[in-house]
A and B are shown apart, each in its own frame.
Chain A
Amino acid sequence: MATLTHYIVLSSILFGLGTIGFLTRRNALILFMCIELMLNAVNLMLVAFSNFMGDMAGQVMVFFIFAVAAAEVAVGLAILIALFRHVREVDITRFNVLKW
């Protein structure tokens, strides 16, 4: 039987993978997908705790994370397209206008 610890380890592995991808890749679109991966890891943790503690509030929290992720992706991709119009590139090392 899978225990809570199994789910926590799985969730931390997924979150770590997302972190590794976010810090090592240069493609802005893949960075977005790594953020989604991290959000999903957190969702899994919330649902697992909700199940093992018998409290539905965790599932409601997951629903709010869905809404925030949707808003984040909509605005983030709009910003990315606006940037792409200027730079013609999705490589984040080229987005250096604000770099000191």
Chain B
Amino acid sequence: MDLYFWVFASMSVLAGLFTVAAKDALPSAMGLLTVFIALASLYLHLHAPLIAIFQVAIYAGAILILVVFVIMLLMTPGERMGVIQANASYRGLGVLLGLCLIGLIAVGTKGVSDIVSMKAPPEGFGNPSIFGDLFFSNFLLHFEVVSVLLLVALIGGIYLCKKRL
């Protein structure tokens, strides 16, 4: 049980490091793919099978493919695109801010175990039919708003791809 978490957690952190540090955009995308797969495995561990399926289908299947298409569209062969920020103060500030964020959240978790009891989730937790019931009752308005958002994004995407903007 524990080994499962450690394997996929270390896999996601290493792949995340690779995503951030890779020289080219395409290897970076492959690192991100590994992060998605590792997180999908962790979702399975957390009783969220539907979210794991969506993670693979939407993130790894749709979003990442779109990114890879754009990388291939914009990259001319042999070109190195992975340039690190030339301004050293930006670079230092970025690393400092990121590390501060990690430290801050890690310190903040000290009190969490008091708030949340570690009881096992209730019977049938994570069942897709319960997810669907909740989705189309409590969150119906949110669902409609998200559908409008997707429609607007669709129209925006088509408009931005016009020949003369």
Contact = CB atoms under 8 A, between A and B. Distances in A.
Given A14-B35, A15-B101, A27-B25, A53 B156 contact: no
Interface residues of A, number: 73
Contact of B119 (A36, A54, A82): A54
B134 A20 contact: no
Interface in A42-92: 43-44, 47-54, 56-57, 59-60, 62-64, 66-75, 77-82, 84-85, 90-91
A33 B94 contact: no
Contact of B135 (A16, A40, A63, A84): A63
B77 interface: no
B122 A60 contact: no
Contacts of B21: 21
Contact of A17 (B13, B149, B153, B154): B13
Nearest to B3: A2
Contact of B150 (A23, A70, A77): A70
